[in-house]
Amino acid sequence: GQWHDAKTVLDELIKSDSKDPRVLALAVIFGYGTKGREHMEVSLVLDDSKETKKWMDAAPVNAYAALLQKGG
């Protein structure tokens, strides 16, 4: 089904560009590990709101990072 199709796409992305932060974050969502916390995309998936606050200054235009913060 769709899960297997998505997993196949992710596996191909990992082979072609495993260091891309977006690929790392997607891999974390799929349960492939927890590497890449130093990247905003992965940190937003794994870390609590206190840890993700640093991304507000680093990337203030990221709407998802802003939504995670109280009063954001």
Q: For the residues of 15-55, what is the DSSP string, one character each?
A: HHHTT-HHHHHHHHHTTS----TTSHHHHHHHS-HHHHTHH
More confident site: 53 or 30: 30
How many domains, the chain? 1
The model scores a pTM over 0.85? no
Kindly calculate the radius of gyration of the chain based on its CA atoms and give it in whole angstroms: 13
Residues 4-21: tens digit of each pLDDT: 999 999 999 999 999 999
- Determine the structural domain holding residue 56 and report its residue range: 2-68
The pLDDT assigned to 54 comes to 82
